[in-house]
Copies of this chain bind each other. A is one copy, B any other.
Amino acid sequence: VSSPARRVPGSAVRRLSLYLRALERLEAEGVPTVSSLELASRAGATGPQVRKDLSHFGSFGTRGRGYGVPELRAQLWEILGLTHRWRVALIGAGRVGAALFAYPDFRRRGFEIVAIYDNDPAKVGRRWGGIRIRAVDRLPRTLPRSRIEMAILAVPAPAAQDMADAAVAAGVRGILNFAPVQIRVPAGVSVNHVNMAVELESLSFALHTTREGGETS
């Protein structure tokens, strides 16, 4: 059912997230079943694309009927690895860190922030939702014993690479980087970048270039 599946385009995986969100809303509305077309329209994709994306992992629909909403939701949950409870460290307790920490879907999706680091002495020792903020220079010592699997980097650009190195040295295998720099990591570690500057500038480009615009990312 949840298939190993060779060679799945990264863009397809990202769309699965969008499908998942749409399915959650459908389920909340009590809709029992969706066609690929209906799901696509809710998630901003196309019918064939939904079917192709899903086909990388198996057959989840019924011909002539569509997909069972709760069933498909559960499948995507599984495929995306959300059944696992991910232990996450938040590195950087500034405004961005605070916004992330307060993000409600976090916990609901199996991501559990179990450690917070910051280099501001005024913040170290404070607690966010029961978690004590530690000094970043204690990261190499304290992080390994927390058995963290992911790190969220929400530090200023100049510090990002160092923090990433420390996290990787401490056994982290996935990093979500909010700093506007490209992070280098050894093979075997995954990095995803959330770079607001890039998005803003590509928007600037679109508006500046065409008098037409159109959907972009």
Q: Hey, which bits of chain A sit against chain B, CB under 8 A?
A: 4-5, 10, 13-14, 16-18, 20-22, 42-44, 79-82, 84, 86, 94-96, 98-100, 102-103, 105-106, 109-111, 149-150, 173-176, 180-182, 184-185, 187-209, 212-217
Contact = CB atoms under 8 A, between A and B. Distances in A.
A187 B201 contact: no
A119 to B, nearest CB: 17
A212 B174 CA distance: 11
In the complex, the count of this chain's copies comes to: 2
A208 B18 contact: no
Contacts of A100: 196
Given A10-B217, A105-B197, A212-B188, A206 B21 contact: no
A149 to B, nearest CB: 7
A214 to B, nearest CB: 6
